[in-house]
Each structure stands twice: as C-alpha cells, then as structure tokens.
Amino acid sequence: MQYAITRAVSSSIGQCELTHQPRNSIDVDLARRQHAEYEQRLEILMCELIRLPEEPTLPDAVFVEDTAVVLDEIALITRLGAGSRRAEIESVSTALQSYRGILQIESPGTLDGGDVLVVGKDIYVGLSSRTNKHAVDQMRQGLERYGYQVHSLIVSRCLHLKSAVTAVSENTLLVNPDWIDSKVFERYEIIEIAPGETYGANGLRIGEAVIYPLEFPRTAERLEKRGIRIKFVDLSELAKAEGAVTCCSLVFTCCE
C-alpha cells in the first residue's frame, strides 16, 4: 500500500518564510483548489491520502516534505532550519509513528526535507540556508546501519537541493545545471531543464509517473521524449511561497 501525507493550506500562507523570491500576494482560495487537484493526482497514482488538518498559525505547514524523510526502514524527523516552522513537526511525527520507527535530528543540527534526495541507497543532502553539517553527521550515524550512504553538497543559489534536482525514474535525474554541479550525479542519467524554465527541476516521481508543474511545458516535453509519463498539476499559487510538487506530500510504501 502506498500512502501520501498531505496537509491543508493554511489561511496564513501569505506570511510564509521566503528566501529567494520576492513576496507576492497569494490567493488562498485558489491555492486550496490547486492543492486539492494535487491531492487528486496522488489518488490517481494509487496513493491513499493521510490528510492532516490545517494549521492556521503555521503559514508554511502545507509543505509537509520538510518535516520528515521517510525511508523503507525508518522515518527521519527533521529539525527545520527556520525556527518559525518547527511547530509543524509534531503532527507529522505523530502520523508517521503508525507506520515507521522514528529517528530525530537534534540540536545543533538543522535539516529541511527539501534538501534530501534519496536515490536507492544513496542519500544526497544539500547544505543550504536551512540544512547544516551537524544534521548530515547525525544522518550518517543513524542511517549507516540500514546500508545508506549519505553525501553532502553545497546549495547556494536556490532554497533547497530539490529545487535543483529530483529523481524522475529509478536511474534518471532532472537537473537545473545552473543551480547544481551535475558532475556530482555522473553515475545517473541526466535530463536538463529547458532554457528559461528555471524552476523546472522539481518533479514528484510516484511509480512510473511524475507529477509535474504545468508551468514548464518544454521541460515536460523533454521528459516525455525520454519515456516518462507526466501527470500535470498547477501549483502556481503555492510557488509564490517557494513551494513545489515534492514539497506538498510525504509519499511512502507499507506492506500490508
């Protein structure tokens, strides 16, 4: 059984944390409609949704990806880099306890799930404004017993590692080469985003399909030419909060 944890869009999302984008007005009702369509795509791809309620006082709470990294063996609960967001963690951790054992990042470590790319037994962690080396060291120590290799790399031109690179098949990565050094991923097949579609490197792989933003049609065409099945979604309002398709869910599998 495949599950996806999601959370309703907060009425206060307009007060979200921003690092690399200017603040623009967010239409909350439209953001909620777009999020509902995103959840429908998850259901089409056979995910059973675990919907968490709105957190009205936590503007970024819809971006549940940042609160945890769910592996086959264990759930790693993060310690968010923005102190204002740390109250988001408790409800996600509680939800995950029914499905996984829990490993917690502790102070002085900080980690956002958006900085973590898992490809098989390799885990790539972006050292960014939200994620630090202390967290990477804790990950190495805690995950070594499960056979994972944790690699770190610098992220400076975008919010999170997965703003610049995501997995779109078992051995294929979608990359913005202006934001990340593709040589780090030379063992994988690489698809580069189309010129001008700067934020187009974030896609959410579920099985043999990828949930992908409607806003980047030329990159989508590159994916389709490589045999990758696309399920389009419009998250343009959440993008104003530096959100993307991976940010809005935690997808994992459990054996029944």
pLDDT score recorded for residue 22: 87
What's the pLDDT at 166? 98
Place of tokens 């490197």: 201
pLDDT of residue 228: 97
pLDDT for residue 256 is more than 70: no
Band of residue 19 on the pLDDT scale cut at 50, 70, 90: confident
Burial classification of residue 213, based on how many CB atoms lie within 10 Å of its CB (0-12 exposed, 13-18 middle, 19 or more buried): buried
The band of 182, judged by pLDDT with boundaries at 50, 70 and 90, is confident
pLDDT at 233 over 60: yes
Mean pLDDT of 71-84: 97
pLDDT at 255 over 80: no
Q: Which pLDDT score is estimated for 183?
A: 87
Q: Which amino acid is at 111?
A: L
- Describe the chain by its helix, strand, coil percentages, rounded to 5: 30, 25, 45
Catalytic residues: 160, 247
Q: pLDDT digits over 207-224, tens only?
A: 999 999 999 999 999 999
Instruction: Note whether 243 and 17 are within 8 A (CB).
Output: no
pTM for this model (two decimals): 0.96
Q: Choose between 182 and 44: higher pLDDT.
A: 44
Position 21 scores a pLDDT of 85
Summary mean pLDDT of the chain: 96
The arithmetic mean of pLDDT across residues 69-81, rounded, is 98
Closest CA to 36 of 16, 7, 74: 7
CATH topology of domain 2-10+20-253: L-arginine/glycine Amidinotransferase; Chain A (3.75.10)
Rounded distance, CA 47 to CA 2, Å? 5
In terms of Cβ atoms closer than 10 Å to its own Cβ (0-12, 13-18, 19+), residue 2 is middle
